[in-house]
């Protein structure tokens, strides 16, 4: 992945490596290997990518979800046969993920969807928010915000990675960052109390919560004099 020039490393820590991927029209990536499980989040551009060697395609799954989960341990190359650039966010999950459980999307084929709560308030101004799937290590959720609104995981007690699918801004404490920079990837440390705001077109994003990060935060707090 590091040597494949269409993949641009944006964020790396003990949990993830997050890449912004951009493949111009009618270009192909080099043959590259995915050693870790990873999430694919397409923020825009072409919707179809064709794998030209071993490994699964990276286009959206057939059920309409814009997020896919793939086990590591394979090599492939991807060709953009469309007329516009293909862009996506590839998030490698460094730690062992354990059991995968479908929630409201089929991350694991031919397995039931469990504990899916997709009941939304009648007020369209309120955000849509539901769990896509989870592993022993992460919970992956989808957020959709209406135009000119503010919401989000405002009281996060665990570390969260946000992969933004549209232009939104995030206020963390007294600082405001665009979740579209760098390249739609934003890391929220535990207890950062982020608020997301949208403009006239609204916005949506994926939030990946790291379940054991609270243990790390508690350990850091206990170890301080």
Residue 177's contacts (CB-CB under 8 Å, 6 or more residues apart) are: 169, 170, 186
Helix/strand/coil for 34:
strand
Q: Which tens digit of pLDDT belongs to each residue from 178-211? A: 555 567 888 888 888 788 888 887 778 889 999 9
Residue 128's contacts (CB-CB under 8 Å, 6 or more residues apart) are: 120, 142, 143, 144
Q: Compute the distance between CA of residue 165 and CA of residue 183 in angstroms, rounded to an integer.
A: 10
Tokens of 216: 């790390």
Q: Which tens digit of pLDDT belongs to each residue from 51-84? A: 333 344 443 333 335 688 888 888 989 899 888 8
Please state, rounded to an integer, the average pLDDT across all residues of the chain: 77
Tokens of 121: 């308030």
Q: Which tens digit of pLDDT belongs to each residue from 152-185? A: 655 578 999 988 656 677 777 666 555 555 678 8
What mean pLDDT do residues 136-146 have?
89
Dihedral angle computed from the Cα positions of residues 137, 98, 101 and 54, in that order, rounded to the nearest 10 degrees: 110
Stated pTM of the model: 0.80
The proportion of the chain whose per-residue pLDDT surpasses 90, expressed as a percent, equals 27
Report pLDDT for 154.
53
């Amino acid at each position: 992945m590091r040597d494949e020039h269409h993949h641009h490393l944006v964020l790396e820590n003990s949990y993830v490596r997050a890449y912004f991927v951009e493949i111009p029209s009618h270009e192909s990536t080099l043959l590259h290997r995915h050693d870790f499980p990873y999430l694919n989040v397409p923020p825009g551009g072409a919707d179809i990518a064709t794998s030209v060697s071993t490994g699964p395609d990276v286009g959206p799954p057939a059920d309409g979800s814009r997020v896919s989960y793939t086990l590591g341990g394979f090599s492939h190359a991807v060709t953009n046969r469309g007329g516009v650039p293909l862009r996506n966010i590839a998030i490698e999950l460094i730690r062992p993920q354990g059991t995968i459980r479908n929630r409201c999307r089929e991350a694991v084929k031919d397995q039931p969807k469990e504990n899916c709560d997709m009941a939304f308030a009648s007020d369209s101004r309120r955000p849509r928010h539901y769990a896509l799937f989870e592993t022993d290590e992460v919970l992956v959720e989808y957020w959709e915000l209406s135009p000119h609104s503010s919401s989000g995981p405002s009281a996060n007690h665990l570390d969260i990675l946000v992969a933004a699918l549209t232009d939104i801004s995030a206020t963390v404490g007294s600082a405001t960052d665009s979740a579209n920079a760098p390249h739609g990837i934003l890391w929220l440390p535990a207890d950062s109390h982020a608020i997301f705001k949208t403009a006239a077109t609204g916005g949506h994003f994926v939030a990946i919560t790291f379940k054991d990060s609270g243990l790390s935060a508690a350990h850091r707090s206990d170890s301080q004099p």
